[in-house]
Structure 1
């Protein structure tokens, strides 16, 4: 459906440019945007590679295990249906850790594996409570270091690209807290109906 919406918007824009006589401006904008996208992508790749390297070093040094150990009691309470030593719990913790460091692209495969493990655990094609909670938390995006945004700010020569870290953390904590509270509210509401 989203692809259809985008296709309609593009076709409408091109038709409007043809009838309005501004097709040259559209072509110029397409070429400039494509060049800017390549430049931005290269900048983002470099910062993501850097943070993925930091994550690998943190993993080798045992820092991720410490973070996982610290987060485990909280995660066990948020996902009570998942056994403590189930593989899904490891993927959930790894996904949250990657998101915590702003590595959304690195967190995605871990999130998919966590969902697959939770689906195996539930044995159903219907989303389980844990799957819904996981999706709500991931959508609200708990982030300590917003590496992608910092990279974009650096790309556009921001004088202080890291000044957003504090506000990102506050917004992130508010978002995750809201997501968990709303998730629990609807879960309890649904449980009362049954």
Structure 2
């Protein structure tokens, strides 16, 4: 779907540029944007390589399992339908840890893995379970206890300038997301069809 949106934007830009006689500006902007994209990608690769390596070391050293045990009471409350020892819990904890550490880009592959493992527990494959919705809401609210490394790296800002606003905003958004999911999951409209039949 996104491919169609981007293709549409590009085509509209070229058509409007042609009709207004500013096709040179469109071409110049495309070349300048390509250069910026390469510079941005190289910067992000460095940030992601560092933190994904750190997460890999944490996983190999058993730190992830330790963190999973420490936060088990929270994960049991947030995800009551997921067995405590299921691999999905480990992926969820890793994803949440990456988000809390401000590693949004590093959290993406972990989030995809967690969703894949949650789908294995899903009795009705064409509908999202409560656990999937809860995980998606928490992931989208993006709780961060440490400043986002990507923002600091790209904007070159002082970390102290956004420390308190980042924690306050992400904490409130996460609380709101959890409350919304817990309320909506109790409503009949959002129950799985299989549950309704039972």
Q: TM-score range by the shorter chain?
A: 0.7 to 0.9
- Does the aligned pair in 1 maintain the 2:99–2:142 contact within 8 Å? yes
Question: Partners in 2 of 1:192 and 1:161 — Cα distance?
Answer: 41
Match of 1:151 in 2: 153
C-alpha contact 1:150 1:162 (8 A) present in aligned 2: no
Closer, same or farther: CA 117–95 of 1 in aligned 2, 3 Å: same
Question: How far is 1:56 from its partner?
Answer: 4.2
1:141 aligns with 2:142: yes
Any conservation in 1 of the 2:138–2:178 contact (CA below 8 Å)? yes
Partner residue, 1:35: 35
Does the CA contact (< 8 Å) of 1:92 and 1:110 recur in 2? yes
Deviation at 1:177, TM superposition (A): 0.7
- CA deviation after TM superposition for structure 1 residue 48, in Å: 2.1
Q: What is aligned with 1:98?
A: 98
Following superposition, the deviation at residue 57 of structure 1 comes to 4.9
Shift of 1:161: 4.4
Match of 1:129 in 2: 130
**Separation in 2 of the partners of 1:34 and 1:170?**
35
Aligned residues: 190
Name the counterpart of 2:185. 187
Does the CA-based 8 Å contact 2:102-2:144 persist in structure 1?
Answer: yes
Asked if the contact 1:72–1:93 (Cα under 8 Å) also holds between the matched residues in 2, the reply is: no
TM-score by length of 1: 0.85
TM-score for both structures, normalised by structure 2: 0.84
For the structure 1 residues 162 and 148, does the alpha-carbon distance in structure 2 shift closer, same or farther, using more than 3 Å as the test? farther
SS of alignment partner, residue 186 of structure 2: helix
Q: Cα RMSD over matched residues? A: 2.3
Per-residue CA distance 1:129-174 (angstroms, 9 max, x = gap):
11111111111112223111111112xxx3x245223211211111
Which residue in 1 is equivalent to 2:109?
109
Structure 1 CA distance for aligned equivalents of residues 175 and 55 of structure 2:
25
Relative to structure 1, the CA distance from residue 79 to residue 191 in structure 2 (aligned partners, 3 Å threshold; closer, same or farther) is: farther
Secondary structure of the structure 2 residue equivalent to 1:14:
helix
Match of 1:122, SS state, is coil
